[in-house]
Amino acid sequence: MQNSFLGKRIKACQYALKGAYILIKTEPPVQVQVVISILMIGLGFYFDITSTEWIFQIFAMGLVLSLEAANTAIEEIADFIYPNFHHKIGLIKDMAAGAVFFAAITAITVGLIIYVPYFFN
């Protein structure tokens, strides 16, 4: 079972869950995103948003959380391979942060499109 296709997939899921747990437990930017996601879910229930709105909201939350996690992993790799100051390391970190920025702008736009009509109608 351990080395079977299914066994390997189960192991991969366990490693992924461990990674998600470490991110949520130790990374403040991820913790902030989790809190924002919980608040957005609460807001969704409060306004009883439609199924389509839920789908867009869940995708937006998943996009930001995933990229925040990937950004954290890139920062870890950068610090591991070159712990000292180097303009290339700075550039790599800034680019990874830029990816989170694109996702955050997308999520904010989705949030505004969904909730502005609920707040002002």
Ligand X SMILES: Nc1ncnc2c1ncn2[C@@H]1O[C@H](COP(=O)(O)OP(=O)(O)OP(=O)(O)O)[C@@H](O)[C@H]1O
Span near ligand X by CB under 6 A; candidates 3-11, 35-43, 49-57, 81-89:
81-89
Do 23 and 72 touch, CB atoms closer than 8 A?
yes
- Pair of tokens at residue 59: 């995708």
Size of the site for ligand X (CB under 6 A): 9
For the chain, state the CA radius of gyration: 18
Q: Which is nearer to ligand X, 29 or 111 (CB)?
A: 29
Q: How far is the CB of 21 from ligand X (least distance, A)?
A: 17
- 98 near ligand X, judged by CB under 6 A: no
